[in-house]
A and B are shown apart, each in its own frame.
Chain A
């Protein structure tokens, strides 16, 4: 292949679509753009017909590797109509309650090429008015989409906090179906991962445009050099006004958050995790995961991006821990830099290349030097770290000094991204963000072991692999799709997670049996655009006090509720709604506790009927007794009858019951003995 030609030809192709203001390309050319699908991947080593190629058309997926299977192309989700706000939608077991468009303060005005604000914005990007007239309108939507991407959620009382690369939006969710915007807080710097605790809100910043003062102007670019002075630097790279780290806001006035502290870190904060030590009421802690470049020590003293051989104090191969005095958040500061990748025998800080495997010797040589996200579960004293090349299990009983107790890797995993524990702490669901979330990775030819969840059993502080779960429906080649953030749904007696898959939509998965995970509900929309991949879809999908919220990157905020199906009954949904929390930061996992109410008993009963662990007549008579107890408003006589029925339950269980059924029967007995109003 001739390199010069391969570089120059695509330029001609682009000039065919866009007007490019360079003297050599200034004559107008307007051949018809290639129809979608015509742009095929040329076999390796063969010249592509580049002059015909539309640079925005997606490439088809490479063939499935031998022995791998892909997702289902016959699923109704596989072929939904595309559209930004009018895409086809389909749901099973979920009802779409509300959609709230991303606020204007977080969007460039890109609906019309004639709009002065578009021209102003594009002018900043170096695009002139003349070129703008030639630019397809869909392109204006795609420009800089990521800069205003919605990201993660936090919840408190009736408030929902939606992070964004450009700041945070706060919504009133007192009536989920009528979710409304309260506050748009402009404060750019990406990704805007967000947590709340009492009057405090925490926010992650990692990008070089982040400013201490929340300004959106970023920092000036180096002016064009004069001839002969190309290598001279006129602007300093280090900027004292730059902010990369974790911001802390006082949110006592929900309509006017006030920044009270900004803790700088060397790598910035891609994500962070709120850690509440059960033994420390005075402070909370923040685990900071940085994944990008280490800044210069001239900007932040002590920062070094050297390898550990050259500099033992390198900012690589560590996480950062911030201590926040609750009464004096302005005194928040970094208190430790745990070396969670250390080899405990040799003391080498980059000691995690091959930290255990379930892949029979197919260990990947990777120098894991960063965590992407950490989920802490203080109730069991453990954290699960999703740390690029490995999944980590950390002992966090001393939150300032987390210690690695286990690590796994996986031959099919590309990037360990996030984690959630089952409520009883016996399982961990990790996700693999293959392609970084920007790519279409749920196509029919994408292996369903790649970019999937990996479910591990957790016993005696050891992780062992059980199975993968990937969105079962094939998605289009203009839909970015891969496993992403999810939370538990508090259905008693089952392990259920609702999860976001970017433009793959929302999928609700049962992993009670970790070897056989099963989808029980979903919602999906068509692609944003049929002809090119425009970044969008759900970043997070979390259950909070009875509703499910989806953070749609490009479009806004979705609200759903569960509806009964053969895989989930109304009683199970009602029992989940009986669990109410005051605050939810999903990566700071809280132990779910169910009230001793008859609605919870009815959920267990439905499950025991579904699994046929109890004979049908037994289920029927228990239901009847529960109904009459409810009708009587829990009168003593009816309660005594209920309580009496529990004695034979254990023995009437049919055949070999599973561990899950055994604990359901036990929990059912407990409630029937002492039901609460």
Chain B
């Protein structure tokens, strides 16, 4: 492929030839100090790979967010605390919105929106997943079924306390998930997952601060 290799050759001669034709140049610089390559005029964009960690992050975060939405759904019947109600509404609407975004991301890539349960033949386990064979595997920070049951039974100030401490634990888990994502080789290279995970980190960190303040005020 002589023609092709000439087009790729990193010589200024090629750039000069491009200029002579007058069409737009398609170029790709090299590392600092290295020459710039001229690419074929019909070059189209390509993407880095998405990784298993990306898909598992999204699948796991849908499950994780779903529990937050489930927790906030109790608020209206369990407490009159205005601060908790307002915060709950914000968490509920943003996380429900994000669940849809994650479902879209997965569906657009031909991936399932839930992860395989542990023990499914040929399917890998999840980091942080409960490997004991219980039907519901929990993502980091998710409340246990005992914690959820206690929350369901609590009312008033007791509910506020359990809700806030539970949601702080829950959000803390999301931060762990983001950290794990960016600590996986080849993960987070997709622009949407990068932006989303970055936003989860920033916004949930801020919400943790707000909840810690509420919790201090309760005592």
Of A141-149, A422-430, A651-659, the one with at least 4 CB within 8 A of chain B: A141-149
Chain A residues closer than 8 Å to B190, beta-carbon distance: 144, 147
Of B103-111, B154-162, B164-172, the one with at least 4 CB within 8 A of chain A: B103-111
Chain A residues closer than 8 Å to B197, beta-carbon distance: 293
Produce 1/0 per residue, A89-127, CB < 8 A to B.
Answer: 000000000000001111111000000010011101111
Are A364 and B186 CB-contacts (below 8 A) given A208-B194, A255-B27?
no
Chain A residues closer than 8 Å to B47, beta-carbon distance: 108, 121, 124-125, 144, 147, 216, 218
Chain A residues closer than 8 Å to B205, beta-carbon distance: 367
Q: Are B202 and A291 in contact, CB atoms less than 8 angstroms apart?
A: yes
Are A181 and B107 CB-contacts (below 8 A) given A218-B186, A292-B194?
no
Are A147 and B185 CB-contacts (below 8 A) given A186-B26, A213-B30, A257-B29?
no
> In the complex, A149→B191 CA distance in Å?
9
**Which residues of A from 637 to 652 have beta carbons under 8 Å from B?**
none
Chain A residues closer than 8 Å to B92, beta-carbon distance: 44
Q: Are B63 and A7 in contact, CB atoms less than 8 angstroms apart?
A: yes
**Which residues of A from 256 to 294 have beta carbons under 8 Å from B?**
256-262, 291-293
> In the complex, A664→B26 CA distance in Å?
49
* Chain B minimum-CB-distance residue to A216: B46
Q: Are A256 and B34 in contact, CB atoms less than 8 angstroms apart?
A: no
> In the complex, A187→B31 CA distance in Å?
10
Q: Are A148 and B45 in contact, CB atoms less than 8 angstroms apart?
A: yes
Chain A residues closer than 8 Å to B75, beta-carbon distance: 44
Produce 1/0 per residue, B181-206, CB < 8 A to A.
Answer: 01111111111101101110110011
Chain B residues closer than 8 Å to A256, beta-carbon distance: 12, 15, 25, 27, 36, 38
Asked if B150 lies at the interface with its beta carbon under 8 angstroms from chain A, I say no
* Chain B minimum-CB-distance residue to A185: B27
Q: Are B45 and A106 in contact, CB atoms less than 8 angstroms apart?
A: yes
**In the complex, which of the residues A22, A45, A127, A166 contacts B45, with contact meaning CB atoms closer than 8 Å?**
A166
| Distance in Å: Cβ of B80 to nearest Cβ of chain A | 16
Interface size, B (range): 35 or more
Chain B residues closer than 8 Å to A165, beta-carbon distance: 191
**Which residues of A from 81 to 95 have beta carbons under 8 Å from B?**
none
Chain A residues closer than 8 Å to B49, beta-carbon distance: 124-125, 218, 220-221
Q: Are B185 and A146 in contact, CB atoms less than 8 angstroms apart?
A: no
**Which residues of B from 136 to 166 have beta carbons under 8 Å from A?**
136
Chain B residues closer than 8 Å to A41, beta-carbon distance: 96
> In the complex, A62→B73 CA distance in Å?
15
Of A227-235, A581-589, A668-676, the one with at least 4 CB within 8 A of chain B: A227-235
* Chain B minimum-CB-distance residue to A535: B192
> In the complex, A225→B122 CA distance in Å?
10
> In the complex, A353→B205 CA distance in Å?
13
Chain B residues closer than 8 Å to A184, beta-carbon distance: 24-27
* Chain A minimum-CB-distance residue to B67: A3
Q: Are B43 and A255 in contact, CB atoms less than 8 angstroms apart?
A: no
* Chain A minimum-CB-distance residue to B213: A365
Produce 1/0 per residue, A347-381, CB < 8 A to B.
Answer: 00000010000000000111100100000000000
**Which residues in A have some Cβ–Cβ distance to B below 8 Å?**
1, 3-4, 6-8, 10-11, 14, 17-22, 25, 41, 44-45, 55-56, 59, 62, 103-109, 117, 120-122, 124-128, 131, 135, 139, 142-144, 146-149, 165-166, 180-188, 190, 206-209, 212-222, 224-225, 227, 230-231, 233-237, 248-249, 253, 255-262, 291-293, 295-296, 330, 353, 364-367, 370, 388-389, 436, 438-439, 532
12 new A-B contacts, CB < 8 A, other than A120-B46, A219-B186, A364-B210, are A10-B62, A11-B112, A11-B113, A125-B47, A139-B108, A209-B189, A214-B28, A221-B49, A222-B53, A259-B33, A296-B183, A366-B206
**Listed A/B pairs (26) with beta-carbon separation below 8 Å:** A7-B66, A55-B103, A103-B26, A105-B44, A105-B45, A124-B47, A142-B104, A144-B190, A148-B45, A165-B191, A166-B45, A185-B28, A185-B29, A208-B182, A213-B34, A214-B28, A216-B48, A218-B49, A222-B51, A222-B185, A237-B183, A257-B27, A258-B36, A260-B33, A436-B195, A436-B199
